[in-house]
Each structure stands twice: as structure tokens, then as C-alpha cells.
Amino acid sequence: MQTLAPQPAPSAISTTSIGIYGSAGRMGRAIIEAIEAAGASLAGGVDAREDPNPIARTADVLVDFSTPSAIEAHLAAARAAGTAIVIGTTGLSPQHQSMIDDVAKDIAVLQTGNTSLGVTLLGILVREAAARLGADWDVEIVEMHHKHKVDAPSGTALLLGDAAAKGRGSSLAELRVDSRAGLVGARTEGTIGFASLRGGSVIGDHSVIFAGEGERIELNHRGDDRSIFARGAVRAAIWLAGQPAGRYRMGDVLGL
Ligand SMILES: NC(=O)C1=CN([C@@H]2O[C@H](COP(=O)(O)OP(=O)(O)OC[C@H]3O[C@@H](n4cnc5c(N)ncnc54)[C@H](OP(=O)(O)O)[C@@H]3O)[C@@H](O)[C@H]2O)C=CC1
Ligand SMILES: O=C(O)C1=N[C@H](C(=O)O)C[C@H](O)C1
């Protein structure tokens, strides 16, 4: 396992001006507070049915916590203005991922299902555990979120599943099994299962379970407050604003 050398949180007041796609939403509001706390400035916010282009031209960097159907227009606006963008929106399709790869040829793009420090580290631990435990250790991922969440499995669950699949030298597309119901048959060895729970005001809980014969390892993350995502998103934005074109990960920002 590599030695972890986390980068300290930036202490100097940032002068970066940040534009938000999805500014009136739960995350948008938390990000406005985090921008203020970081001493950065808010270039403005855009929500549904508003033109995404003007803010892309005035902001130093954009953050997107909106909805998958808006991603194409937001990427196009960022690319046309030459402005870096952090994408936190989840529920993205493989087509969205291809669009992001394409736009990242021209501008800096960081896409992640979770901007928190804790989940970024958890992804590394999951990959390591999956690599060290044999394929006879079954991997199951359980997530719970608030009742308003519209996508499942969560972006974080998929990020953690991807880490486990990579640890096994494979891809999540090959191993993924979504929630089971009915006479589904016995578990296929090597697959990665997902279960999604929804209710109340849960901010975001994730468990990665490695189940072996007679023993079990569980790696958990519990989010108590949206500020963990908002702080990470602002930190990522400030960092990304200075980067050349390319596709980046939260681990690049945090030095993990
Ligand atoms: N990566 C991470 O760390 C995290 C990711 N997320 C993800 O962020 C996304 C947003 O979550 P949350 O804030 O809870 O959701 P909300 O529904 O509270 O907010 C979504 C916002 O996006 C706006 N919106 C909708 N369509 C557009 C559009 N075409 N252009 C611009 N804005 C638009 C909505 O505006 P209106 O109300 O007018 O429709 C709303 O203000 C989700 O995909 C969620 O999973 C959430 C937390 C952490
Ligand atoms: O919609 C949410 O709230 C969250 N979404 C992200 C996800 O899909 O994983 C991150 C976090 O868990 C909260």
C-alpha cells in the first residue's frame, strides 16, 4: 500500500471566483456557504431553465450539482468559455462519461460521485482490500440516503464498486449486480452487489462488505452534514482552476 501524503487544506484566502450550476438546490446552498468560508468569491448561480453560458464566461471555475439531463449543456458552456468544471452530479450514464472524456481534451474537468475527504480515502482502502482478499470474498455495497434522492445506486456506491472492481483487476461494468428481488439464484462468485435504501433525512451512508467463509469485514462511511461535500467541492474547484486540460480525480486534489 502506498504511503498516504495528504495535502494540507489551503490556508490562504483564495481569490478564485466560482460559478454554480444547481445553486438553489441542497448542495448548491451548502456550496455557497463553503465558498464564503474559504474566502473565495461567488461568480453567480444557475438553475433550471437559465442560460448556463454567461456564468461560464465570468467565473474562474464552475461546479455542477444539478441533474444529469443538464450535464451536456453545462459541459458545452464550460468548453466554449474555456472554464474548468467540477461535476458532482450523480446518476450519469456511460454516454455522459464519454462526453466528459471528450470535453476534458479542451478544459480541466473533475467528475466524482463524492467530494468528501472520507469517501476519497475509503475508495483507496476498498481497492486495497479487494486486491488482497481473494475473489471468494463476496463484495456487497449498501447505501442509504434521504427520501428526496432520485438516482440509485448512489454515485458514491458506484465509485466504491469501481474501486473494488479495479482492485480485482476488472471493471465494474463486468461485475455489477443491482438490487435483487425474486428467485434470482445463488450469488455468482466475483460479482459486486448493490442495495439502495431511501428514507428520512439521511445525508449519505455507505458500507462496503467483504463477506468470506465464517468472517466479514465492513468498511463504512457516514455523512453527518452536507458541508463535507461542499468543502470538498470548493477545494476541488480552487485547485482545478489552475490546471491544464484533462480529466482529474478527487485523489489528485487531496494528494491521496
Ligand atoms: N459528488 C458529491 O459529493 C455529491 C453529489 N450530489 C449530487 O448532486 C446533485 C444535486 O443534489 P441536491 O443538491 O441534493 O439536489 P437538489 O434537487 O436539491 O438540487 C438540484 C438543483 O439543480 C437545479 N437544476 C435542475 N435542472 C437544472 C438545469 N437544467 N440547469 C441548472 N440547474 C438545474 C435544480 O433547480 P430547480 O429546483 O429549479 O429544478 C436544483 O436547484 C445530485 O445528483 C446528487 O446526487 C449530492 C451531494 C454530494
Ligand atoms: O444525493 C445526495 O444527497 C448524495 N449524492 C451523492 C451520491 O449519489 O453518492 C453523494 C452523497 O452520498 C449524497
Q: Are residues 109 and 45 in the same domain?
A: yes
Rounded CA-CA distance 164/169 in Å is 9
129 C-alpha to center of ligand 1: Å? Answer: 32
Q: Are residues 61 and 91 in the same domain?
A: yes
Q: Are residues 40 and 23 in the same domain?
A: yes
Measure Cα distances from 199 to 144, 145, 150, 156, 205 in Å. 8, 6, 12, 17, 12
28 Cβ closer than 6 Å to some ligand 1 atom: yes
Q: Are residues 107 and 123 in the same domain?
A: no
pLDDT at 49: 93
* 44 belongs to a structural domain: yes
Q: Are residues 121 and 217 in the same domain?
A: yes
pLDDT at 10: 55
Ligand 1 pocket: which of 53, 64, 67 to mutate (most atoms within 8 A of CB): 67
Q: To which residue does cell 441533474 refer?
A: 67
pLDDT at 3: 44
* 12 belongs to a structural domain: no
Domain CATH for 43: 3.40.50.720
β-strand 176-177 against 192-198: which pairing, if any?
parallel
CB 92 within 8 A of CB 68: yes
Ligand 2 atom with the shortest distance to the CA of 143: 12
Catalytic residue, candidates 74, 96, 148, 149: 149
Q: Are residues 85 and 165 in the same domain?
A: no
Between helices 71-81 and 94-103, what is the axis angle to 10°? Answer: 0
Q: Are residues 111 and 122 in the same domain?
A: no
pLDDT at 1: 38
157 C-alpha to center of ligand 2: Å? Answer: 9
What residues does 90 pair with on adjacent strands?
A: none
Rounded CA-CA distance 17/73 in Å is 21
29 Cβ closer than 6 Å to some ligand 1 atom: no
Ligand 1 pocket: which of 31, 33, 90 to mutate (most atoms within 8 A of CB): 90
Condensed to tens digits (0 to 9), the pLDDT of residues 131-171 reads: 999 899 999 999 999 999 999 999 999 999 999 999 999 99
CB 18 within 8 A of CB 35: yes
Ligand 2 pocket: which of 29, 120, 122, 149 to mutate (most atoms within 8 A of CB): 149
Domain CATH for 190: 3.30.360.10
User: Which residues are near ligand 2 (CB < 6 Å)?
Assistant: 90, 113-114, 145, 149, 154-156, 204
Q: Are residues 108 and 124 in the same domain?
A: no
* 65 belongs to a structural domain: yes
pLDDT at 95: 97
pTM (two decimals): 0.95
Question: Ligand 1, atom 38: nearest CA belongs to which residue?
Answer: 48
Residue 179 one-letter amino acid: S
Rounded CA-CA distance 136/86 in Å is 37
Q: Are residues 210 and 231 in the same domain?
A: no
Count the domains in the chain: 2
217 Cβ closer than 6 Å to some ligand 1 atom: no
pLDDT at 4: 47
CB 251 within 8 A of CB 5: no
- Is 149 annotated as catalytic? yes
164 C-alpha to center of ligand 1: Å? Answer: 27
Reading the chain (256 residues) residue by residue, the pLDDT tens digits are 344 455 555 555 678 999 999 999 999 999 999 999 999 999 999 999 999 999 999 999 999 999 999 999 999 999 999 999 999 999 999 999 999 999 999 999 999 999 999 999 999 999 999 999 989 999 999 999 999 999 999 999 999 999 999 999 999 999 999 989 999 999 999 999 999 999 999 999 999 999 999 999 999 999 999 999 999 999 999 999 989 999 999 999 999 9
Q: Are residues 82 and 68 in the same domain?
A: yes
* 6 belongs to a structural domain: no
Containing structural domain, residue 140 = 117-223
pLDDT at 13: 65
Q: Are residues 121 and 30 in the same domain?
A: no
21 C-alpha to center of ligand 1: Å? Answer: 8
Q: Are residues 26 and 51 in the same domain?
A: yes
Asked whether this complex has an ipTM greater than 0.95, the answer is: yes
Closest-lying ligand to the alpha carbon of 45? Answer: 1
